[in-house]
Structures are given as C-alpha cells and as structure tokens.
Amino acid sequence: MALPDSAKTFIARYAGCEPSDEALWLEAITHGSTGEPRDYERLEFLGDRVLGLAVAEWLFRASSEAEGKLSQRLNALVSRATCARVARFIELGPHMILGKQAREDGGQDSDNILGDVMEALIGACFIEHGFEQARLMVQKLWAGEVEGKAGKLKHPKSALQEWTVGNGRKIPEYSLVDRSGPDHALHFTVKVSVKGVGEAQASSTSIQDAETQAAEEFLRNYA
C-alpha cells in the first residue's frame, strides 16, 4: 500500500515537512482494522510522550503558574478529547486508513481513533525530523488550545470567509475548473474567487483539499 497523494499534501501542510519515509507516515494513519502488518499504535505511544514534553516545555516557558496549575493545564491539553478536537479541526478523518467495519462504525469521527492518529503523526514527525520539528508541529496545531482561544488556528476557508466579511466583500465562490485522471486516481482543480478582488486556483486529489489550498493561495496573494 502506498501513501496517498492527498495524505502527502496533508502531512506537508500540517506537519511542516515533506514525508520522505512514506512507509513511516503510512503507518501513522493506518488503523489496525485494515489487517496491515503495521498500524499507528507504536507511533501513537511515542507521539503521546513527544506531545506531552512539547506542551510541558511550552507551558513552563509561557507561564509562572505553580506546578499544580501547570499539571492541570497539561493534562487537559494532551487529553484524548483535545487531540481529537485538533484532528477534527484540520480534517484528519478523511486521510485515515480504516478497515471496512471501522469505517461503517464511524471510525472517521471517533475520538479514540482521531486522537490516536493525531499523536501517531507527531511520533512520525519526531522519528523522521527530530524533536525540534515535532515541537514546531505541536506549536502550530495546539496554538489555539494553549492560548485558550478556539479560533486562533483557523481553517483557510474559514479565514478567507472572515477576511471577505471584514473587508466588506462578497463571500468567496468556489468552482471546479478541471477533473482529470482515472477513477482510482482522480485529480481536481478548483478556483476560488472574490468579486472585485481576484481569484486563485489549486489542484489536489480531492475537491476538499483543492478548495483548502485555493483559499490558502488566495490569502497569500490578496490578504
């Protein structure tokens, strides 16, 4: 099994690094229900510890609170619920590789699976690029949680919509420009436009990813 192109794009965006060892990253998003010889459990074990250290250091440097308060915040920030919330925000679910039964049982939206895979990705980042890159990944994804502002880390499409409203513009319009390739390897090009401002395009293996990347490109060019 190969690492899907959509997963490569997702990892590069949110881990902040290209997935060189594709087998490692494939392992990080693969659930045991698939029957594959390698799944995310060992990487989840490691990623849990890396996440804990990264957040503990972050809190220590950013706050003068006593040990009890720091421990309370740390436990909340590395909890399964928080990991799952971050995973949902970045739309990790569609990139996870699940067996048929796990998919039918709603595995893509399971707190347990989402949280575990989120930690496994942090573990994979640590293995391939070391603690510094893993820490940067955690700081990017947990910024809103650590600062207590759920909206701190905004999805590009949400950020673009807020930008248009704040600047008195009409809401963004997304349109499919091109669809190509065989059914098992479709490729989509999407355009986002804001009347009176401009437009941007992006391509990916899913319409959802293409829209997200187009929004990112628009914000880079016009915001």
Known catalytic membership, residue 109: no
162 contact partners, CB below 8 Å, separation of at least 6: 154
- DSSP lists the bridge partners of residue 191 as 175, 201
Q: What is the rounded distance in angstroms from the CA atom of residue 8 to the CA atom of residue 18?
A: 7
DSSP 147-172: TT-TTSS--HHHHHHHHHHHTT-PPP
Q: What is the rounded distance in angstroms from the CA atom of residue 31 to the CA atom of residue 221?
A: 38
Known catalytic membership, residue 119: yes
Q: Please, are residues 194 and 164 in contact by the beta-carbon 8 Å criterion?
A: yes
Q: What is the rounded distance in angstroms from the CA atom of residue 118 to the CA atom of residue 111?
A: 10
Of the listed 27, 119, 209, 211, which one is catalytic? 119
Of the listed 27, 39, 44, 48, which one is catalytic? 48
Q: Which residues are catalytic?
A: 48, 119
